[in-house]
């Protein structure tokens, strides 16, 4: 067991942020984006996959698309986004006098004049997918102006409005409820369980355990009064959700506090955050627990490399210093935005035993979260760079190289161990001295290999080295893609008037990543561009027959993947 020497570039690391950089008075008189009572299926700051939820989700009134949407203040349409995934059909409206931008996502339809503009932009770009930034004079709007209808487009699990407010000048997203919007919620948060951690003097985790929480006479309690931890330091995380009146949605909480012997040591409050740091969600939650069990828990302690300014007060990063003869009282409070409160109280002390840190087997590298960490392995012809800020805490890291893996046709398979370690900023992988023919180099990529898929990461050639960036510890090798996409007509006939739409299944051999998400799909009728929508999740292309030109025509579908592999499909129709 030996710690191998790193090539380290030491750089001073400063994670300081202005805690609430948006300390302005937010009591602006804004209109609601819907003309009725709000019901929320998602709250601001909820824990989501690799990000904090940047807005609120307003439920459809009757469970279907069509609720009218309105501009919350005077301003102008500053951005229009049409995409089959993500925010779907979305608008951004800048409100210059307020230094605010409002965001309306997953829309079903737009106002007629906005829709006309969108059609012009799509025809101009000859693409259904558009992302346009508009100047203030193109489409001004007034407070209360109808802008379209609520929908279910993009990555959406039901009709709703994803609504955001952000500070235009800083790109910090703000909790919309701070502006006076109300919703009915008299239900306090639910607490389901806590996780306790024992840490050594270097803050390495040496012990952990889960303790379920029961409801008893309206209060939350553990099944035991005192928790004994075999370490000098303890930390806590909490699984908690919030529900509101009459709704089944498991929403996020607004504020957390933890007291030790009646002294505040940790607080968390979801008022605003810088969007560019949203991936630090993986530092706020227990990432390993999420990956293993699919459950979200809030850390009531801060990892040293967590850059998020979400903690109005924190002492000793929320760690509890333990003694073996004194039990310390811990009290945790959880609040929703309407200040409904739940609490949990228990005691913690040091046990007589001491848990020891388990080092990785074999050779390993000790990586520092506040330094550049460069690993160079000449024997395997690889190098790995963990840049400063890519980790949330110091960690011991190891990897393996497999030369006989079935995917390793162009390189060894590099297995970056500890898949439960979150990465904040991408790490850089270099596969060195590759012997690849010049004509294949444009089809090369770094393949993230799992049991059921291959995810592609595109890098660049530097001589005979291929360099790329990845955002997860996984298994990687170099592969090439020379296989074109596949196109299959699932609804098509020669007489277009007999169909509402034509449908085509279009997929690529790379099941996720750039080879799947970045398919360029074009549709033409006798050489004229035709508007078509493609959903990369269902791999379904839909063409409304009303959008097809009349007469005898040849419909052509062209699918091009990221590596310029092309498939053409043609069929004749009449209309």
Nearest to 265 by CA among 290, 301, 241: 301
**What's the CA angle centered on 170, arms 141 and 55, to 5 degrees?**
65
Question: 126 is written with which tokens?
Answer: 């000859």
Instruction: Select the more confidently predicted residue: 267 or 379.
Output: 267
The pLDDT score that the predictor gives to residue 253 is 96
> What is the pairing mode between strands 512-513 and 454-457?
parallel
- List, for residues 457-491, the tens digit of each pLDDT value: 999 999 999 999 999 999 999 999 999 999 999 99
Alpha helix positions (H), 112-174:
112-125
The class (CATH top level) of 363-480 is mainly beta
Token pair of 289 as six digits: 């627990």
Q: 382 pLDDT exceeds 70?
A: yes
Q: Tell me which residue of 69, 80, 59, 79 sits closest to 32, measured CA to CA.
A: 69
Q: Which fold has domain 40-179?
A: Glucose Permease (Domain IIA) (2.70.70)
In the block, residue with structure tokens 């190289």: 401
Q: Which two tokens stand for residue 175?
A: 């909790």
37: tokens are 């009572």
Q: Is the pLDDT of residue 505 over 70?
A: yes
* Beta bridge pairs of residue 97: none
Q: Kindly write down the DSSP assignment for every residue of 273-326, as one continuous string.
A: EEGGGGGGHHHHBTHHHHHHH----EESS--TT------S-BSGGG-EE--SS-
**Residue in the block written with tokens 């986004």:** 81
| Residue 511, pLDDT above cutoff 90 | no
How far is Cα 351 from Cα 348, in angstroms, rounded to an integer? 9
What does the pLDDT look like over 331-376, one tens digit per residue?
999 999 999 999 999 999 999 999 999 998 888 999 999 999 999 9
What is the residue extent of each domain of the chain?
40-179, 190-350, 363-480, 486-574
Cα 430 from Cα 462, distance rounded (Å): 10
CA–CA dist 331, 259 (Å, integer): 5
At 230, list the tokens. 């075999």
Q: Are 211 and 3 in contact (CB under 8 A)?
A: no
* Separation of alpha carbons 209 and 13, rounded Å: 32
Q: What local confidence, expressed as pLDDT, does residue 517 receive? A: 53
Q: What is the rounded distance in angstroms from the CA atom of residue 225 to the CA atom of residue 451? A: 44
What's the chain's length in residues? 575
Instruction: Say whether pLDDT at 385 is over 80.
Output: yes
Give the number of other Cβ atoms within 10 Å of residue 369's Cβ.
Answer: 22
Rounded Cα gap, residues 449 and 437, in angstroms? 23
Q: Which residues contact 251 (CB under 8 A, 6 or more apart)?
A: 40, 41, 42, 43, 46, 241, 242, 243, 244, 336
Is the predicted pLDDT of residue 155 greater than 70, yes or no? yes
Count of CA atoms in the C-beta half-sphere (13 A) of 74? 3
Within 439-482, strands assigned E span 444-449, 454-457, 460-462, 465-470, 475-480
How far apart CA 574 and CA 554 sit, in angstroms, is 9
What mean pLDDT do residues 440-447 have? 94
Separation between Cα atoms, residue 161 and residue 552, nearest integer Å = 41
Question: What is residue 25's predicted lDDT score, i.e. its pLDDT?
Answer: 55
At residue 453, the pLDDT reads 81
Q: CA–CA separation, 516 vs 455, rounded Å?
A: 9
CA–CA distance, 50 with 414 (Å, rounded to integer): 24
Distance CA 276, CA 378 (A): 35
**pLDDT, average across residues 128-156:** 94
pLDDT of residue 270: 97
The band of 1, judged by pLDDT with boundaries at 50, 70 and 90, is very low
For 331, the enclosing helix (H) or strand (E) is: strand 328-335
Closest CA to 529 of 566, 494, 555: 555
User: What pLDDT, on a 0 to 100 scale, did the predictor assign at position 27?
Assistant: 59
**218 Cβ contact list (under 8 Å, min separation 6):** none
Return the C-alpha torsion angle 359, 363, 369, 371, nearest 10. 150
* pLDDT for position 154: 86
Average pLDDT over residues 191-217: 95
- Which one, of 347, 345, 332, 346, lies nearest residue 238 by Cα? 332
Q: What percentage of the chain carries pLDDT values higher than 90?
A: 79
- On the question of pLDDT at 250 being above 70, the answer is yes
Q: Which homologous superfamily does the CATH classification assign to the domain defined by 486-574?
A: Immunoglobulins (2.60.40.10)
Residue 155 burial (CB < 10 Å; 0-12/13-18/19+)? middle
Q: How many CA atoms lie within 13 A of 374 on its CB side?
A: 8
Tokens matching residue 55: 């807005």
What pLDDT is recorded for position 452? 75
Tokens, residue 546:
């009303």
> Residues with Cβ < 8 Å from 565, sequence gap 6 or more?
443, 481, 482, 483, 484, 485
pLDDT in tens, 162-201: 999 999 999 999 999 999 999 999 999 999 999 999 999 9
Tell which phi-psi region holds residue 319, choosing left (phi > 0), alpha (psi between -120 and 50) or beta: beta
pLDDT (average), residues 299-308: 97
Among residues 152, 163, 121, 125, the alpha carbon closest in space to that of 31 is found at 163
Neighbouring CB atoms inside 10 A of 122's CB total: 17
Residue 309 near residue 19 (C-beta atoms within 8 A): yes
Return the number of other C-beta atoms located less than 10 Å from residue 248's C-beta.
7
């Amino acid at each position: 067991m030996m710690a191998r020497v790193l090539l380290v570039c030491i750089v001073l690391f400063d994670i300081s942020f202005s805690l609430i950089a948006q300390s302005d008075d937010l009591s602006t008189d804004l209109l609601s984006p819907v003309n009725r009572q709000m019901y929320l299926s998602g709250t601001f700051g909820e824990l989501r996959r690799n990000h904090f939820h940047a807005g609120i989700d307003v439920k459809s009134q009757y469970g279907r698309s069509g609720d009218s949407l309105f501009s919350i203040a005077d301003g102008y349409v500053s951005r229009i986004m049409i995409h089959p995934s993500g925010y779907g059909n979305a608008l951004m409206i800048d409100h210059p006098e307020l230094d605010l931008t409002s965001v309306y996502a997953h829309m079903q339809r737009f106002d007629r004049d906005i829709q006309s503009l969108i059609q012009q932009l799509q025809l101009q770009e000859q693409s259904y997918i558009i992302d346009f930034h508009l100047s203030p004079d193109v489409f001004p709007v007034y407070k209360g102006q109808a802008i379209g209808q609520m929908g279910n487009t993009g990555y959406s699990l039901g009709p709703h409005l994803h609504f955001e407010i952000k500070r235009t000048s800083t790109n910090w997203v703000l909790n919309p409820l701070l502006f006076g919007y109300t919703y009915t919620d008299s239900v306090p948060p639910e607490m389901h369980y806590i996780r306790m951690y024992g840490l050594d003097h270097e803050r390495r985790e040496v012990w952990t355990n889960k303790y379920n929480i029961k409801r008893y006479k309206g209060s939350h309690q553990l099944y035991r009064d005192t928790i004994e931890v075999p370490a000098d330091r303890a930390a806590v995380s909490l699984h908690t959700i919030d529900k509101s009146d009459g709704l089944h949605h498991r929403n996020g909480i607004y504020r957390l506090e933890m007291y030790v012997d009646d002294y505040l040591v940790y607080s968390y409050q979801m008022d605003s955050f810088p969007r560019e740091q949203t991936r630090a969600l993986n530092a706020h939650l227990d990432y390993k627990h999420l990956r293993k069990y699919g459950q979200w828990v809030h850390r009531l302690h801060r990892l040293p490399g967590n850059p998020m300014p979400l903690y109005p007060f924190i002492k000793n990063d929320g760690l509890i210093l333990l003694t073996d003869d004194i039990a310390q009282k811990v009290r945790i409070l959880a609040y929703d935005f309407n200040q409904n409160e739940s609490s949990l109280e228990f005691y913690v002390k040091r046990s007589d035993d001491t848990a020891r840190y388990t080092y990785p087997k074999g050779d390993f590298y000790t990586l520092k979260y506040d330094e550049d960490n460069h690993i160079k392995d000449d024997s395997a012809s690889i190098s790995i760079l963990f840049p400063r800020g890519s980790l949330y805490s110091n960690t011991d890291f190891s990897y393996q190289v497999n030369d006989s893996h079935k995917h390793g046709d162009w390189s060894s398979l590099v297995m970056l161990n500890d898949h439960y370690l979150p990465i904040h900023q991408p790490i850089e992988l270099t596969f060195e001295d590759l012997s690849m023919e010049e004509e294949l180099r444009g089809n090369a990529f770094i393949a993230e290999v799992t049991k059921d898929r291959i995810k592609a990461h595109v890098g660049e050639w530097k001589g005979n080295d291929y360099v790329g960036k990845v955002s997860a510890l996984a298994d990687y090798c170099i592969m090439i893609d020379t296989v074109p996409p596949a196109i299959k007509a699932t609804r098509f006939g020669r007489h277009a008037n007999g169909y509402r739409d034509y449908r085509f299944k279009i997929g690529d051999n790379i099941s996720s990543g750039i080879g799947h998400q970045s398919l360029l799909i074009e549709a033409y009728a006798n050489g004229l561009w035709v508007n078509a929508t493609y959903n990369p999740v269902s791999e379904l292309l839909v063409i409304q027959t009303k959008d097809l030109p009349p007469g005898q025509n040849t419909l052509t579908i062209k699918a091009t993947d990221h590596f310029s592999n092309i498939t053409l499909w043609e069929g004749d129709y009449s209309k």
